[in-house]
Amino acid sequence: MRSIPQILRTTTVRLTATFILIFIVFSVTLLALIAWQSSYELQRKQTADIDREVRLLERIDGRQGIRATAIAVQRLSIQPGPGIYYLGDPSGVYLLGNVASVPPEIILEPGVYSFDYERSRPFASDEEGEANLRQGFAVVRSVQLPSGMRLVVGRDVVERRGFTAIIIQAFLAGVIGILLFSLVAGGITARRVLRRIDAISATSSKIMSGNLSERVPVTRRNDEFDGLATNLNAMLERIEGLMQGLKEVTDNVAHDLKTPLTRLRNQAESALRPGADDEDRRKALETTIAQSDKLIQTFNALLMIARAEAGAPSGAFADVDISEVASDVAELYSPVAEDAGIELTTEVTPDLHLRGNRELIGQAIVNLIENAIKYHELVSGESGRVVVGVRAVGDRVLIEVADNGPGIPPEDRKRVLERFVRLEKSRTEPGSGLGLSLVDAVARLHKGTFRIEDNAPGVRAVIDLPAG
């Protein structure tokens, strides 16, 4: 379980805090813009209404005279609402309107002003006295009409300020809500992300302790963490397989090399034994040389596989006439097959080319032919037959070596491609179990595949390479 300081230092929390800050700044700016726009729009509307009524009364006064102006002002004054109206004579003395007292400077000097006022409440009786008066604060415009009369038109701004206060309160409440929501959402997000990361870290710790069978948990959400977990699990599967293969290789190497090395030592010891004549020493040296050759062949095969898997062949890639290579190898091994009582034939499409390493491809074909000849001897009462074929299928070139021998069980066709794997359990037959491993490595080096198929009876080994 992580402590609070550890959680605060994580990249997840920092990124979450950054996104929360961006969200808060954006939201607060948006709310402030809405509040300001609303207040400004109310003020603009009131100013427009004042200007519109002033222009209307000026037209009435200029066209219809003082009487029509007085009637219009009276009708506007008795309507409920925030309107402020004052009509005075040329000297400014009050004639009519819903405000009886206006500062003298407002009346005598046309312009835009604001002031505190008192006016009668509509529909109130005269017996109510001061309770009948309504106090407020107004923004007004003062003009002198064409007839010389003094006119003041305005609007009460107390209601507008109240609405603005409501907007500000809503704005503050929204900001607090956004802060709380962002903190809760950020905390939940950071917790979920850290939980997934902790699961991966816990699995990694178990694997490092030696338990290679552990896997990263995968949920059903199919998010990016599940994608990462799937890839990590595939990598872990591969690593576990490689480690298991390494263990098997180590065991097989120990078995395959210990025996010839023991024989070498025994032969050398027998040659040095007192009483051994020259003939015994000569036979001991011959046996030592033969055993050494087998060891050298094993190590050469391992080195060739390593070069192929590393992508560093002994020669640069060049254009290879694969038909010619297969025919030459088949011709070379015809006498060997004939001595073993096996008919070796070819079914090669002429003049098929690809880019590759001639040495490695040739060695792969050699390994397949040697395997077909070697293990065909296990079947008695049948005429042996091995067919070496090369053909083109679309943009692919298939190199095939088929026999009618005992075959390979389907469940073992993948396993025989591993190093030092031999289906002959007694391991008395000559060989190191590296031949098919080399063929598979050569195929992968050339961006191709190697597979073993059923030939009914026997085996068909197929090297599938791109023609380009």
Which CATH code for domain 318-466?
3.30.565.10
Find how far residue 310's CA is from the centre of its chain. Answer: 29
Question: What is the dihedral sign for C-alpha 359, 364, 370, 373?
Answer: negative
Residue-range domain boundaries for the chain: 215-293, 318-466
**How far is CA 341 from its chain centroid?**
60
Which CATH architecture is the domain 215-293 placed in?
Orthogonal Bundle (1.10)
Measuring CA to CA, how many Å separate 81 from each of 46, 85, 88, 122, 161?
12, 11, 21, 10, 15
Q: List the chain pLDDT tens, one digit each, 468 residues.
A: 556 665 666 666 677 778 778 877 887 788 778 778 877 887 888 889 889 989 999 899 888 888 998 999 888 888 887 888 899 888 888 888 888 888 888 888 889 888 887 766 554 444 544 445 567 788 889 998 888 889 999 888 776 666 767 777 877 787 788 778 777 777 777 777 777 778 888 888 888 887 777 888 888 877 777 888 888 888 888 787 777 766 666 666 666 666 677 777 777 777 777 777 777 778 777 777 877 776 776 666 666 666 665 555 545 678 889 899 999 999 998 988 888 888 889 899 998 988 888 888 888 888 888 888 887 765 555 678 899 999 998 889 999 999 888 878 777 777 777 665 555 544 445 555 667 888 888 888 888 888 888 887 888 899 999 876
Output the CA–CA distances (angstroms, integers) from residue 405 to 315, 379, 431, in the order listed: 34, 6, 18
Contact, 398 vs 462, CB < 8 A? Answer: yes
403, 385 contact by CB (below 8 A): yes
Whole-number Cα distances in Å, 198 to 7, 195, 229: 11, 5, 12
